[in-house]
Chain A
Amino acid sequence: MNVFFERKYVVQGIFILVGIVLLIKLFYIQVIDNKYVVSANSNVLRKLVIYPARGIVYDRHNKILVQNEPVYDLLVIPRQILPFDTSELCRLIGIKREVLISKLKKARSFSPVKSSIIEKQLSARTYATFQEKLFEFPGFFVQNRTVRKYPNAMAAHILGYIGEVDERVIEKSGNYYQMGDYLGISGIEKSYEEVLKGRRGVKNIMVDVFNRAKGSYEDGKYDTTALAGEKLICSLDLQLQQYGELLMRNKRGSVVAIEPNTGEILAYISSPNYDPNLLVGRQRGSNYSKLVQDELKPLFNRPIQAQYPPGSIFKIVQALVGQQEGVLTPQTVFPCGGGYRIGGLLVRCTHNHPPLNLEESIQYSCNAYYCNAFRKMIDQGPYSNPQEGFEVWRNRVQKFGLGTKLNIDLPNELDGLLPTQKRYDRIYGKARWKSSTIISLSIGQGELGVTPMQMANLMSILANRGYYYIPHLIKGIGERKIVKPEYTKKNYVDINPAYFETVINGMEKVVQSGTAYWSRIPNIIMCGKTGTVENPHGKDHSVFVAFAPKDNPKIAIAVVIENAGFGASWAAPIASMMVEQYLTGAVTKPKYYQERILEANLINPTEGKLKTKKGKQL
């Protein structure tokens, strides 16, 4: 006991105070502040993404159009690298040494313990040889992914392609997509992205401070399995598509074939085309820019993006609308005399023939007949002025799926062109125009634009006698083969089915004894209409539309060959051969006939300037 005895309490106080301070701080970081739990998880938890396989695409007969092919990404964990033979590695995976070194440097600065990609999408073949030597390169490892593979190398324009997501896409998707994901960029890859992509799986693993895997987290309680994308059944007929692509070689144009009683697209050819396998894998970038720069514009998706004045095939629409409006009957006769004259205007008719009735007007494609009919409809109809008549006419034409998108299941479809009153008011002044001013419309020229898809759809309407299903490429999604509801609805064009008979009979005669006589098919009645589209920029476009057989039609088809001249000379034979191929499985046309088509090269631009340029290049 001494005088400073009471100082014991001060020392005790200090001990207790410090103890309390420690406990307060501990309580704060352990119980109150949650951020340390988060940090601890980010230290120790790694989410391994398991990429799902994209959905496989089959044709209508279950043949594979698009499948997946394994590729291998080469990754590196910089800290685990031991000295290795750089030139050997470069040789094995086929990259330059400088590239490898700069990528390694980048990887190291990103993180010494986390993996970085050195080279993407090594092919299975490259990987096979590389795999045997992989042990010589500690720190390197491969991760397998899948890329698309097109075993038949066709239908590039509809199958489309996939590519890696960019920042913009990631942001737009609300971070659903992550760096390294692929998504459909064009074609059905894009329009069916939602079902094709599948669902990513996640595997939670725990790692130590050197990022070495130490086992699954909570026995995989939070892991999810990857779900492969849904399979798609494409309505294409692989055989028909291949045959069509063969026929369209070295030609510029489109072929679209539709099954009228479903709207399913049987063939979809855009020529010139390209091998879809070019836009896959490591060479995608350079191949893509080559395709973009190609003067033939192989990426141009003609069936839904090229718009042509329909030419004579538009007479079919005119004949139907005219009947519905009460302007035409099967007995209606107009004189021809080599053309239609009004004021100083002359619309020439290519054939000078006696006055024709409705059926004959289709068979012989009389221009004068439709000029007269158009005038009667617009200027002389029950309407108070040509503008009102035009508006009624326009609404009727629009019902045929012209002038607006059909909304098929491909991105970037164009509307086509069907002029409005406003447009003519702007050109000629308000109400200062009438049928004679816009007479070109009557024969499908002038301010009209129709895509080959719309032409084929028109044939569907004829085949169905008055309605169509929206053309579409996917006839079944997933195992349950779901079809989008909008593709199972009949779209009526509001023309009395009775009015179709005369027109269809005329179309039958076109093939049996008219302009497309040389394209008739034995034992099958094909109804068609040729068109020769005036092209102010060069040689006329050759157009032919048809459906067959006449009763209970199975196929509707539109063929457009640019700068090829008469519809009867190129488009009609191609359509005829495809129809025959589809309906009978063989083509009976004589060999010389087939060879003429197969070997024709109509692709060289007829324009003088372009020709010399092309000539040098070829």
Chain B
Amino acid sequence: MFDKKNILYNIDRQCLVIYLLLVLIGWVSIYAAVFDANHGSILDIDRNYGKQLLWIVTSFVLGSIILFVDAKFYSTFAYAFYIATMILLFIVLVVGRVVSGNQGWIDIGSFKLQPAEFAKFSTALALARYLSVSGIRMQSLSTKITSILIIGLPMGLILLQGDVGSAITYSAFILVMYREGLPGEILFFGALTVAVFVLTLLLPQQLLLIGLGCIAVLLSYFFRKQKSYILMILFGLVFSVGVVFGVDHVFTNVLKPHHRDRINNLLGKEIDLKGTGYNVNQSKIAIGSGGFFGKGFMEGTQTKYDFVPEQSTDFIFCTIGEEYGFLGSTIVIGLFIALLLRLLTLAERQRSNFSRIYGYGVAAIIFFHVAINIGMTIGLVPVIGIPLPFISYGGSSLWGFTILLFLMLKMDANRMAIIR
């Protein structure tokens, strides 16, 4: 069964097949989105699909290299990868090129490198390395602080670039920490924060405060027998009220105007279909008009005629939704969920803590991207400019996710050897 000689035999085939399918779907979608009769060749390097083909081939090369390097190399040099990418994030702040408001690109020849995409796997490696050292317990405060620092450093640097979307993706690591013992309450309070945040923007402040008070009283009455619950509820109330007041400050003083607009748009507070709401509206029209079976390959009028902006990158899901309908959307989402669940299975079967934690990191990052990206194209979450893993056009992003995934595949293929 297990043959350490042949890495291709040991590699998890489910993950590999899903990866290849997603990359293929991505390329076909990009081709359909930017196709133009004047540029016939699929290898045309001037067109996005031509370039993406190049990224795909190079990604396969990268993936192969990862598979043939000794697995120990990654755990040993986890911090080195981390530090290297942090340095890149610094450099980009100095020499980076500004593209649509974000200073996130380094020009290398005619190509642009986006270090934020690579910081994802290096952060996952570093976090796994830190948490896998024996004796480290998530319950201790210092562990929590150090973990948050590891995550917070790239997050902060990316925020400085002005790329709020990419920065937010790092919050996905909270799932990793949760798996490693972070109290469930923190996850709960995280969710509570988001809920209260949204409600604060939607409802008048006084009404919300009264509402929260009522809920607290009702819950207290319901759980009046359990003292610890009452305490929790009380804390939750104080916390929520704090969020309510904090949100106002964050919303008016911290967020950039275009983020504010996007959130307002999503919440339906401002409907401006020609301005900030244009993207989401057009994206919903494209996906919504796909119907159950879709319009067919290259028949999507909305994407073909450029009504949807950023359609080969952040809004690539529109092409899928429009041309393949609900059926195609379900298949793509199904593939992602299958990949994520498989990744959890792989993680849990690891013998080493390092590879298990890394596995959770991979799943968390991919999950966050998929949920936010698809959610934004159908108006469930605000427009946050992050790519759909393996599918969106972009070299850095495809390389980043390939490395992220293949490191896990390598560790998994090697899981029996590591304990010896």
Binding site for B on A (CB under 8 A): 2-5, 7-8, 10-12, 14-16, 18-19, 21-23, 25-27, 29-31, 33, 35-37, 39-41, 43-44, 206-210, 214
Could you say which of B96-104, B113-121, B175-183 contacts chain A?
A: B175-183
In the bound complex, residues from chain B placing their C-beta under 8 Å from that of A39 are 285, 288-289
| B330 engages A214 (CB within 8 Å) | no
The residue from B307, B329, B341 contacting A12, defined by CB atoms under 8 A apart = B341
| A36 engages B289 (CB within 8 Å) | yes
If A22-B378, A36-B285 touch, whether A16 touches B337 (CB-CB below 8 Å) is yes
CB distance from B301 to the nearest CB of A (A): 4
Residue of A nearest to B330 (CB): A23
CB distance from B25 to the nearest CB of A (A): 16
The residue from B290, B334, B367 contacting A18, defined by CB atoms under 8 A apart = B367
In the bound complex, residues from chain B placing their C-beta under 8 Å from that of A15 are 337, 340-341, 344, 363, 367
CB distance from B192 to the nearest CB of A (A): 15
If A22-B371, A26-B321, A30-B329 touch, whether A206 touches B301 (CB-CB below 8 Å) is yes
List 14 additional contacts besides A26-B321, A43-B305, A44-B302; criterion CB under 8 Å.
Answer: A2-B353, A19-B333, A23-B330, A26-B378, A29-B288, A30-B287, A31-B291, A31-B326, A37-B289, A40-B302, A43-B282, A43-B301, A209-B307, A214-B305
B394 at the interface (CB under 8 A from A): no
CB distance from B290 to the nearest CB of A (A): 5
CB distance from B334 to the nearest CB of A (A): 8
Residue of A nearest to B349 (CB): A1
List, sorted by A's number, 19 A–B pairs whose CB atoms are closer than 8 Å: A4-B181, A7-B178, A11-B175, A15-B337, A15-B340, A15-B344, A19-B337, A26-B333, A35-B288, A37-B291, A39-B288, A40-B286, A43-B301, A207-B305, A208-B304, A208-B305, A208-B306, A208-B307, A209-B305
Residue of A nearest to B348 (CB): A8
Residue of B nearest to A33 (CB): B288
| B285 engages A40 (CB within 8 Å) | yes
Contact residues, B337-381 vs A (CB, 8 A) = 337, 340-341, 344, 348, 353, 360, 363, 367, 371, 374-375, 378-380
Closest 9 CB pairs of A and B: A36-B288, A40-B289, A208-B305, A29-B288, A19-B337, A44-B301, A209-B306, A30-B326, A39-B285
Contact residues, B298-339 vs A (CB, 8 A) = 301-302, 304-307, 321, 325-326, 329-330, 333-334, 336-337
In the bound complex, residues from chain B placing their C-beta under 8 Å from that of A12 are 341, 344
If A19-B336, A44-B301, A209-B305 touch, whether A29 touches B348 (CB-CB below 8 Å) is no
| A14 engages B175 (CB within 8 Å) | yes
In the bound complex, residues from chain A placing their C-beta under 8 Å from that of B307 are 43-44, 208-209
| A29 engages B378 (CB within 8 Å) | yes
The residue from B291, B304, B333 contacting A23, defined by CB atoms under 8 A apart = B333
In the bound complex, residues from chain B placing their C-beta under 8 Å from that of A26 are 287, 321, 326, 329-330, 333, 378
CB distance from A309 to the nearest CB of B (A): 69
Complex: A33 Cα to B290 Cα, angstroms: 11
Q: Which of B288, B330, B334 has the most CB of A within 10 A?
A: B288
Complex: A33 Cα to B307 Cα, angstroms: 20
Q: Is the interface of B mostly helix, strand, loop or mixed?
A: helix
Contact residues, B120-177 vs A (CB, 8 A) = 175
B292 at the interface (CB under 8 A from A): yes
| B378 engages A11 (CB within 8 Å) | no
Complex: A44 Cα to B340 Cα, angstroms: 37
Residue of A nearest to B337 (CB): A19
B410 at the interface (CB under 8 A from A): no
In the bound complex, residues from chain B placing their C-beta under 8 Å from that of A10 are 178, 184
If A26-B287, A30-B329 touch, whether A4 touches B367 (CB-CB below 8 Å) is no
| A27 engages B374 (CB within 8 Å) | no
In the bound complex, residues from chain B placing their C-beta under 8 Å from that of A16 are 337, 341
CB distance from B60 to the nearest CB of A (A): 27
Q: Which of A12, A26, A31, A35 has the most CB of B within 10 A?
A: A26
Contact residues, B259-311 vs A (CB, 8 A) = 282, 284-292, 301-302, 304-307
If A8-B179, A14-B175, A22-B378 touch, whether A29 touches B287 (CB-CB below 8 Å) is yes
In the bound complex, residues from chain A placing their C-beta under 8 Å from that of B325 are 30
In the bound complex, residues from chain A placing their C-beta under 8 Å from that of B353 are 2
In the bound complex, residues from chain A placing their C-beta under 8 Å from that of B360 are 11
Complex: A498 Cα to B58 Cα, angstroms: 112
| A11 engages B344 (CB within 8 Å) | yes
Residue of A nearest to B191 (CB): A14
| A8 engages B306 (CB within 8 Å) | no
Residue of A nearest to B353 (CB): A2
In the bound complex, residues from chain A placing their C-beta under 8 Å from that of B291 are 30-31, 37
| A40 engages B301 (CB within 8 Å) | yes
Complex: A207 Cα to B360 Cα, angstroms: 46
Residue of A nearest to B181 (CB): A4
CB distance from A502 to the nearest CB of B (A): 83
Complex: A290 Cα to B233 Cα, angstroms: 85
Residue of B nearest to A19 (CB): B337
| B344 engages A8 (CB within 8 Å) | yes
In the bound complex, residues from chain B placing their C-beta under 8 Å from that of A18 are 367, 371
In the bound complex, residues from chain B placing their C-beta under 8 Å from that of A27 are 326
In the bound complex, residues from chain A placing their C-beta under 8 Å from that of B371 are 18, 22
| A36 engages B305 (CB within 8 Å) | no
Complex: A14 Cα to B340 Cα, angstroms: 11
CB distance from B309 to the nearest CB of A (A): 9
| A31 engages B292 (CB within 8 Å) | yes
Complex: A37 Cα to B301 Cα, angstroms: 11
| A36 engages B284 (CB within 8 Å) | yes
Complex: A4 Cα to B360 Cα, angstroms: 13
In the bound complex, residues from chain B placing their C-beta under 8 Å from that of A23 are 329-330, 333
Complex: A30 Cα to B286 Cα, angstroms: 9
| B179 engages A30 (CB within 8 Å) | no
Residue of B nearest to A210 (CB): B306
CB distance from A587 to the nearest CB of B (A): 71
Complex: A10 Cα to B184 Cα, angstroms: 10
In the bound complex, residues from chain A placing their C-beta under 8 Å from that of B305 are 43-44, 206-209, 214
Complex: A36 Cα to B184 Cα, angstroms: 40
CB distance from B325 to the nearest CB of A (A): 6
In the bound complex, residues from chain A placing their C-beta under 8 Å from that of B333 are 19, 22-23, 26
The residue from B285, B286, B337, B363 contacting A11, defined by CB atoms under 8 A apart = B363
In the bound complex, residues from chain B placing their C-beta under 8 Å from that of A3 are 181
If A11-B344, A15-B337, A44-B302 touch, whether A25 touches B380 (CB-CB below 8 Å) is yes
Residue of B nearest to A42 (CB): B285
In the bound complex, residues from chain A placing their C-beta under 8 Å from that of B289 are 36-37, 39-41
Residue of B nearest to A3 (CB): B181
In the bound complex, residues from chain B placing their C-beta under 8 Å from that of A4 are 179-181
Residue of A nearest to B294 (CB): A30
Complex: A2 Cα to B184 Cα, angstroms: 16
Complex: A12 Cα to B184 Cα, angstroms: 15
In the bound complex, residues from chain B placing their C-beta under 8 Å from that of A7 are 178-179
CB distance from B303 to the nearest CB of A (A): 10
Complex: A340 Cα to B406 Cα, angstroms: 127
Residue of A nearest to B372 (CB): A18
Complex: A607 Cα to B302 Cα, angstroms: 74
CB distance from B338 to the nearest CB of A (A): 10
Complex: A44 Cα to B184 Cα, angstroms: 49
In the bound complex, residues from chain A placing their C-beta under 8 Å from that of B336 are 19
Complex: A299 Cα to B378 Cα, angstroms: 63
In the bound complex, residues from chain B placing their C-beta under 8 Å from that of A41 are 289
Query: Chain B 74-88, CB within 8 Å of chain A: the 1/0 string?
Result: 000000000000000
Complex: A210 Cα to B307 Cα, angstroms: 9
CB distance from A599 to the nearest CB of B (A): 70
CB distance from B119 to the nearest CB of A (A): 23
In the bound complex, residues from chain A placing their C-beta under 8 Å from that of B329 are 23, 26, 30
| A30 engages B290 (CB within 8 Å) | yes
If A30-B321, A30-B326, A40-B302 touch, whether A22 touches B348 (CB-CB below 8 Å) is no
CB distance from A474 to the nearest CB of B (A): 47
Complex: A47 Cα to B300 Cα, angstroms: 19
| B287 engages A5 (CB within 8 Å) | no
Complex: A25 Cα to B378 Cα, angstroms: 7
